[in-house]
Chain A
Amino acid sequence: MKPLTPVAPATRVTLGIAFFVLFVAVWAIATLGGFVPKTFLADPITMVKSGYTLIAEMGFLKDIGMTVWRVLGGFIIAALIALPLGVLMGAYKPIEAFFEPFVSFARYLPASAFIPLLILWAGIGEAQKLSVIFIGSFFQLVLMIAVAVGNTRRDLVEAAYTLGASDSSLVKRVLIPGAAPEIAEILRMVLGWAWTYVIVAELIGASSGIGHMITDSQALLATDQIIFGIIVIGLIGLVSDLLFKRVNRQLFPWAALGK
């Protein structure tokens, strides 16, 4: 193996799947072989069966739908406000000086710690769930977008000015398109984090959603259902990540060149 040498696409997919297979195999041997008691960890077959029951008889698809809706809702609201603010902060230093210290502070406030407060303010309805996602992703987005925009190569900025660019078209035609692929990467990453917040929000005070199903299963010691729930979250995360990556590559073909 040579450092940094790329692998063929087919090999990469095979290797990626191979680890999943290995993982499930180890799990199956540990549980079906009787090395781990059933109460602690269900085996893969039971998990798939109870997953089927969950979906077919207990309306789990609706829970999945709710969770996806909450993540996307909260994340999209956060992104819609964070995008213009982050771009402005990256482009205009006085605006950055005004917001940056507060945003840096707010970024470290753990979104999950807000849940009790949010329940007090917004009840246990959807507004509370969306707020958790919003708090968890908004400040991160703003800061990272501002940095991405602010890191635009100075020589490109100067080249644009010598070509007659005005200040506003510098932002529109250089800063934003130059930072766009990185911003798309940031959105992809933070969306991943949003997934971890939604489950926490649903563990406390929710009547639907994947997190709610997991809390319910805990009371019944149904580890098979808990694991199924966790795996579903992982799979949705994986699929959304792949989709995001593909869209990014379609939108910014130039960014992948020479990498």
Chain B
Amino acid sequence: MANILSVRGISRTFEVAGRAPTVALQATDLDVAENDFITILGPSGCGKSTLLRIVAGLDKQSSGEVLLDGKRIDGPGADRGMVFQSYTLFPWLTVRDNVCFGLRERGLPRQQQLEIADAFLHKVGLRGFESHYPKQLSGGMQQRTALARALANNPRILLMDEPFGALDHQTRELMQELLLGIWESEKKTVLFVTHDIDEAVFMGSRVMVMSARPGRIKLDRAVPIPHPRHYSLKTTPVFAELKAELTEQVRAEVIASQNATTTAS
């Protein structure tokens, strides 16, 4: 299968005045095939957000290149949709107009914008909330709107940086099923950062673990569980086995990153 996204030898060094520069990412390679759902795990500060931001074009790599459909990425664009951990709906726009934001940017006629927006709002279960303002929504509803907003743009790849990180456990599980359902029906390609191992295994068709800083991808496992997935599979042996392995791997990296900070200070 052809790769949608190729990350080639990406590194990113942050220069901080008066201190040693931080190497956030080092020589990272990643290939994403059409319809992959890749979940990325790793200790805090290992460069997961940095990697996603570089793919989104919001940050510039220090070396290497990112190719989307074989074309070099240089800056952000509507072909890569992003859902952030923080709530980033535009507070001055209603839910519906938030979803229309990218469509209007493309110059679609208003009627068509509304049709697309309402269809996606329906998919994420927000019918009846179209004319609410973001501040009138719960955190979970805001993230669902953000998801609808990103999907409405019909991006080649969806980048998600701990999108459910701020939500409570129950809402989070519902959101996982919702996203998985949409991914299964829409045939999307997703790059999904999380620090929740359950989430990574349940959602991912491939799970990756990044090493402690400087980050690179140290483990890449296909998840041998067929789709569509039901939440009950979280109690099956296959799930438990993979989860145990990943827990070990992530734990080793968390310890490594803690040792690194204690020796550094």
Contact = CB atoms under 8 A, between A and B. Distances in A.
Contacts of B149: 163
A178 B90 contact: yes
Contact-residue bracket for chain B: 20 to 34
B190 to A, nearest CB: 14
Interface string A176-196: 011010000000000000000
A62 interface: no
Interface residues of A, number: 24
Given A165-B105, A257-B133, A258-B135, A158 B76 contact: yes
Interface majority SS on A: helix, strand, loop or mixed? Answer: helix
B101 interface: yes
A46 interface: no
Contacts of A253: 133
A254 B105 CA distance: 22
Given A158-B58, A178-B92, A164 B102 contact: yes
B136 A257 contact: yes
Interface majority SS on B: helix, strand, loop or mixed? Answer: loop
A163 B90 CA distance: 12
A61 B78 CA distance: 59
A254 B92 contact: yes
Contact of A164 (B84, B93, B106, B133): B106
Interface in B61-107: 75-78, 80-82, 84, 86, 88, 90-93, 101-102, 105-106
A234 B133 CA distance: 37
Interface in A159-181: 159-166, 169, 173-174, 177-178, 180
A162 to B, nearest CB: 4
B153 interface: yes
A165 B81 CA distance: 12
B56 interface: yes
B165 interface: no
B86 A162 contact: no
A159 B150 CA distance: 9
Contact of A155 (B84, B92, B159): B84
A156 interface: yes
B78 A163 contact: yes
Interface string B142-164: 00001001100100000100000
A254 B135 contact: yes
A164 B105 contact: yes
Interface of A: 153, 155-156, 158-166, 169, 173-174, 177-178, 180, 252-255, 257-258
6 contacts: A162-B78, A162-B150, A163-B78, A177-B90, A255-B91, A257-B133
Give the 10 A-B residue pairs with the shortest CB-CB distance, closest first. A164-B78, A163-B102, A161-B76, A257-B135, A159-B88, A162-B82, A258-B135, A254-B133, A177-B92, A164-B105
